[in-house]
Structure 1
Amino acid sequence: DIKLKYVGGAAKDYVNKREEIYPGYILVALNKEDDSLDWERMERVVATAGREEEERKESCQKTTVIQDRKFWSPVYSPYSTYVIHGDAGVTCDEPFPNEEYSSYVDYIEKHYAIAVDPKSRLFEAQRIWRLPTNVRRRNQHSFSLSEARKKRQKVLLPETDIKHARCEGLCSVLLPQEACVESIFVDVPMFLHAVLMPQWMYHTEQYMTVRSFIDHCKATTNKLGLYLEKIPVPEILESLTAKSCNLTYSYDRLEYLGDAVLKVIHSNALMHSRELNGWVSSLHEGNLSELRSAMGCNKRLRDVAVSLGIDRFILGIPLSRGKWSPNGIAKSVKEEIIDSQGFQPSVKVCADVVEAIIGLLYLSFGLDIVTEIAQELGLSIVVNFKKPNENDKNDPAKVAAAKAAKVAKEAMKQQTLSEMLRPRTKFETSIESFLGNYKFSNLNLIKEALTHPSCLHEDVPSYQRLEWIGDAILCLVVRDWVYRAFPNDPVGRLVSVETTLVCNETLSYLCFRKGLHHFINHRDLSLINRLMEFELDIGERGLGLWGTDPPKMLADVVESTIGAAHVDGAYECSRKTVLHILQPLMEQICHNFQNSDGESSLECITTNNVMIHPKQVLFEMADSAVKISMFKEHAFSTAKPDVDVWDGESWRTASPHGNGTVCQIEVYGIFIVAVTSPSPTAARNRACAFAVTILTERKEMVELLQQVRLRMGGGGDRKYNGEEEEEE
């Protein structure tokens, strides 16, 4: 008996919204044209499904002409289903296309250990390989068959022998009629619909999970649920989907952005906290970074996800046999029970989803709203200025303290007003011009931004606090720009562009070109010679951006001036200053990576790598296959005396008395190049650029490396953070 219940009411609401998640052609129903249920067809399917194997085999043997496509299964592989298109006009005694076998009979006997009649006819067929796990989206290319399947397709069914229309994307073969039986389902359209049904159910379940997540957040939080309800479901779905689902989308990009958002939120919280501001302002930049990292560590984010119940809504099970079944249904496959509800996200996955949600909220509502939500969820310190209590009015000491604070506030306001009106000095004007003509209300911040830590006896603190804040602002603004400028590229390529924009070499070059180094207040005499060397490297010597080793102080000053703008005028002001500083580089990068459709894409980053950091390009080409080793020159001459190194002018062997650094590049253990330089940073950058040039000239090698990386699951998101490799 077949019993169906009409689906209506609330269920229709999400069915009507199916286009938000999945294409409409996946939604199928066994209805007639007037939308009534096709009972006759269903009864016919049930009747044919009840046939014994002998009856189905006999029906297969009697087939002469295929009017409607049928499903057959070979006796040597009863669980494989093939779409039969028609008679190929070939019998099994015909010569086999591959000279390794004398005939199709010979091939079938050797491969499947069964004997067939030489006069048995062969039918053109295509196998339904597996349930689809991905829906092809707009502008997405279909996946090509593997080399093995292409080879098999050419052997069993040459292109010239095709007589009947085939299904795109399925491998074509020839099946011997004698060795086949009809499938249980003879209704091909219904069977294909059934194949697509799990995918429809999978995507529908995802949609319902997102709706449940929104309702859960509305019930357990005051703000998060209300703001999530204003965001389209597909965007929330992306933030909850792990890479393990093997879909065309995941939380990776949003997590990449959300990490930077939390970095700024934690910096602002520490900077504005009344309880912590006193001692935070006296900490070293490294200690401040450690404190900020502790606030946003994975364990802490995981605890927040678990306490709020977010971990129960994370989607991590792929649509594949043996792994997923519809919610509430335990399905037996090969005597094993699938428990699709047993997915337990790891600490890293929980933390990533929290960051992805933060990134999504930032894109939709901005930093101020996200900060409020982060405080509500316990992700950040709650910075609330204490309101006066009614009992405080009767306390003389507290009343006096309040009056003193009010007087001090008015005095500061007058001082700020007078500073804004007084004429700017040359260095103040230069800094404001560098930041896009931003006018400071507190000019003391400019002095602080230009004061080096070597100035121990100055009445102005060093720039370390502002550099720490500016680093977070720079990271968020650049990631925000990269995320929006390259909407279709994976995180690994976004990291390559980000690294190029925020690395020490780029920021130092911008600082030097704008002349900010003339205004830095320092007491380190060694910096004078390093600045002169850097000027010669980018000038007369023409070593280029990546062939130099600039003093870190130059990049620190750029970050500290950005931090000063943030402290003085909040995030929006500092965001505009960052975009102004990096605008020429951003425009050039967009121009370099503009495709034929006028859209920006980083697909050609391995060939069109102008301005991209050479180490990132090398990792994009070969990822984990690359090994970068750093040696002292005298140690390299002992370990590898026969290897020539490039010193910037000529090839030579490493000197046993040399004091420089040698950088060696290997790919899968194969030596590529070795470069020596007095500076470890310059040696590494030059060696990477040299290796990129060598690999670029061998395009077949690059393609091979990328194929190997994809098979090994390489993410391509290794990021150069300015740290040196371990010396050997």
Structure 2
Amino acid sequence: MNIFTPTTAHASPPSSKEMNQAVVDVEMIVGYAFKTKRLLEEALTHPSHSDAVSYQRLEFVGDAVLSLAVSNHLFLAYPRIDQGNLSMLRSANVSTEKLARVAVRHELFRFLRHSAPVLNHKVREFTEVVSKEEDTPLVYRGSVKAPKVLADIVESIAAAIYVDLNFDLEKLWMIFRHVLEPIVTPEDLQQQPQPVTKLFEVCQKHGKHVDIKYWRNEMKSIASVHVDGKFVASGSSEQKEVAKVNAVAIALRKLSKSMRLDDTSFEVITGSFHIEGAKDKLHQLCGKKKWHKPVYNIKQDEGSSHVKKFVSTVQIATIDGVLCMTGDEMSRVKDAENSAASLMIRALQESDYI
């Protein structure tokens, strides 16, 4: 696999000639000539590029369209597979991980116009890891988190074709299927254990109880993994099933640092954890990363006035999606929010965000 250089992506406004050439190149990659070139230009414009309409609306459509197109394909291709396994197959084929690898394979990032230099580093790191992998499709999350921007590009281009075809889903699949190859098959799922199944098996072996909770934040589903009542990790996605897999993959990586699978030792990496001035430090970190400021929410307010207990969550909207963390139970709201901020900072450090 050739490694492209992400720094060649537009970090400053490209000329009309450069964008016209990008349109031609991407048309060659997907094998489709657009009637309305503006759609593809929009699909290749990141929200950080303020001089033109971004791909956000197209990405919204593309997420749903690819999910439906893949669902139709799987339904027809595997008539003997039940709903549960079809759902896992679909999730594997439209996950951020899968679509990001599609973008790397076709070097789509180099055609994106954006004004966010941090994207270059994230994409370069992911690309270098993917280039060293075997050709067998990786169904679930690898050693480096897939940048969401890569999946967004694939979804946006698919949506642009779909709209240009006057919303013809069958024609879209005929044109775009080769871009998504290799399609994840039931055999691929068998060779690579499903993270959710693996997590339950590992925890059951060590006598631990796993609970996965869900809620929605605007357009996203958020899943959080709890082991013996203690928060371990969370993940988000437009699709509930993908959010669950993302959360569980993070949980497995965190738990692997605290347990040895060949004996009975097992310790959840949670519990009380305190960083002095964590709220201010997290706020400063978000400003440095150009993320939205943290949003705190008190989830629990119980007991009489002199023994009230509070639990706070904190959410951060990053380039890759919404991150959520739940703090420890505290007697004061201020301490509850600081606990959530402390755990969020540690999670960001462990996940290589900072």
Scaled by the length of structure 2, the TM-score of the pair is 0.51
Distance 2:65 2:101 in 1: 19
Distance 2:88 2:48 in 1: 33
TM-fit CA distance, 1:560: 0.6
Distance 1:558 1:625 in 2: 38
1:553 aligns with 2:152: no
TM-fit CA distance, 1:546: 2.6
1:445 aligns with 2:39: yes
Instruction: Tell me the residue number matched to 2:162.
Output: 566
Distance 2:105 2:70 in 1: 21
TM-fit CA distance, 1:464: 1.3
Distance 1:470 1:697 in 2: 44
TM-fit CA distance, 1:495: 1.7
1:585 aligns with 2:183: yes
Alignment of 1:430-441 (within 5 A): 430-435=25-30, 437-441=31-35
Say which SS state the counterpart of residue 627 (structure 1) adopts. Answer: strand
TM-fit CA distance, 1:576: 1.9
Instruction: Tell me the residue number matched to 1:492.
Output: 84
2:94 to 502, 521, 536: 502
CA distance 1:609–1:527, shift in 2 (3 Å) = same
1:466 aligns with 2:58: yes
Instruction: Tell me the residue number matched to 1:476.
Output: 68
TM-fit CA distance, 1:723: 6.3
Deviations 1:16-40 (A, max 9, x none): xxxxxxxxxxxxxxxxxxxxxxxxx
CA distance 1:488–1:467, shift in 2 (3 Å) = same
TM-fit CA distance, 1:515: 0.6
Deviations 1:428-461 (A, max 9, x none): 24322332x11211112111110111111x2x41
Distance 2:144 2:176 in 1: 23
2:162 and 2:172 in contact (8 A); partners too: yes
Deviations 1:396-451 (A, max 9, x none): xxxxxxxxxxxxxxxxxxxxxxxxxxxx954224322332x112111121111101
Distance 1:540 1:515 in 2: 16
TM-fit CA distance, 1:555: 0.8
Instruction: Tell me the residue number matched to 2:249.
Output: 685
2:195 and 2:248 in contact (8 A); partners too: no
1:530 aligns with 2:122: yes
Alignment of 1:215-230 (within 5 A): none
Deviations 1:133-186 (A, max 9, x none): xxxxxxxxxxxxxxxxxxxxxxxxxxxxxxxxxxxxxxxxxxxxxxxxxxxxxx
Deviations 1:650-670 (A, max 9, x none): xxxxxxxxxxxxx9874xx39
Distance 2:323 2:212 in 1: 10
Deviations 1:312-364 (A, max 9, x none): xxxxxxxxxxxxxxxxxxxxxxxxxxxxxxxxxxxxxxxxxxxxxxxxxxxxx
TM-fit CA distance, 1:467: 1.2
2:199 and 2:248 in contact (8 A); partners too: no
TM-fit CA distance, 1:508: 1.0
Say which SS state the counterpart of residue 211 (structure 2) adopts. Answer: strand
TM-fit CA distance, 1:494: 1.7
1:505 and 1:548 in contact (8 A); partners too: no
Instruction: Tell me the residue number matched to 2:210.
Output: 626
The structure with more strand, counted as a fraction of residues: 2
1:562 and 1:574 in contact (8 A); partners too: yes
Deviations 1:259-307 (A, max 9, x none): xxxxxxxxxxxxxxxxxxxxxxxxxxxxxxxxxxxxxxxxxxxxxxxxx
TM-fit CA distance, 1:585: 2.3
Alignment of 1:554-703 (within 5 A): 554-570=150-166, 571=168, 572-586=170-184, 589-590=185-186, 592=187, 608-610=190-192, 614-615=195-196, 618=199, 626-627=210-211, 666=227, 669=228, 684-685=248-249, 687-688=251-252
TM-fit CA distance, 1:682: 8.0
Instruction: Tell me the residue number matched to 1:230.
Output: none
Say which SS state the counterpart of residue 71 (structure 2) adopts. Answer: helix
1:530 and 1:551 in contact (8 A); partners too: yes
CA distance 1:521–1:615, shift in 2 (3 Å) = farther
1:727 to 326, 331, 334: 326
Alignment of 1:230-309 (within 5 A): none
Alignment of 1:116-515 (within 5 A): 426-435=21-30, 437-456=31-50, 458=51, 460-515=52-107
1:493 and 1:620 in contact (8 A); partners too: no
Q: Which amino acid is the alignment partner of residue 554 of structure 1? A: L
CA distance 1:527–1:470, shift in 2 (3 Å) = same
Q: Which amino acid is the alignment partner of residue 580 of structure 1? A: H
Identity %: 28
Q: Which amino acid is the alignment partner of residue 727 of structure 1? A: T
Largest Rg, 1 or 2:
1
Distance 2:198 2:78 in 1: 17
TM-fit CA distance, 1:548: 2.0
Distance 2:198 2:34 in 1: 39
Distance 2:179 2:121 in 1: 26
1:448 and 1:462 in contact (8 A); partners too: yes
Distance 2:200 2:179 in 1: 27
Scaled by the length of structure 1, the TM-score of the pair is 0.26
Q: Which amino acid is the alignment partner of residue 106 of structure 2? A: K
CA distance 1:579–1:628, shift in 2 (3 Å) = same
2:100 and 2:147 in contact (8 A); partners too: yes
CA distance 1:568–1:724, shift in 2 (3 Å) = same
Deviations 1:630-650 (A, max 9, x none): xxxxxxxxxxxxxxxxxxxxx
CA distance 1:541–1:506, shift in 2 (3 Å) = closer
TM-fit CA distance, 1:683: 8.4
**Any gaps of 5 or more consecutive residues in structure 2?**
1-18, 214-223, 234-242, 264-320, 328-354
Distance 1:621 1:439 in 2: 50
Instruction: Tell me the residue number matched to 2:271.
Output: none
Q: Which amino acid is the alignment partner of residue 122 of structure 2? A: R
TM-fit CA distance, 1:687: 4.2
Distance 2:86 2:121 in 1: 36
* Greater mean deviation of Cα atoms: 460-469 or 508-517: 460-469
**Per chain length, whose mean CA-contact separation is higher, i.e. which structure has more relative contact order (CA < 8 Å, sep 6+)?**
2
CA distance 1:541–1:438, shift in 2 (3 Å) = closer
TM-fit CA distance, 1:507: 0.7
CA distance 1:525–1:690, shift in 2 (3 Å) = closer
Distance 2:146 2:110 in 1: 15
TM-fit CA distance, 1:622: 9.0
Distance 2:209 2:82 in 1: 19
TM-fit CA distance, 1:520: 0.4
Instruction: Kindly tell me the number of residue pairs found equivalent between the two proteins.
Output: 219
2:27 and 2:33 in contact (8 A); partners too: yes
CA distance 1:613–1:527, shift in 2 (3 Å) = farther
Q: Which amino acid is the alignment partner of residue 445 of structure 1? A: L
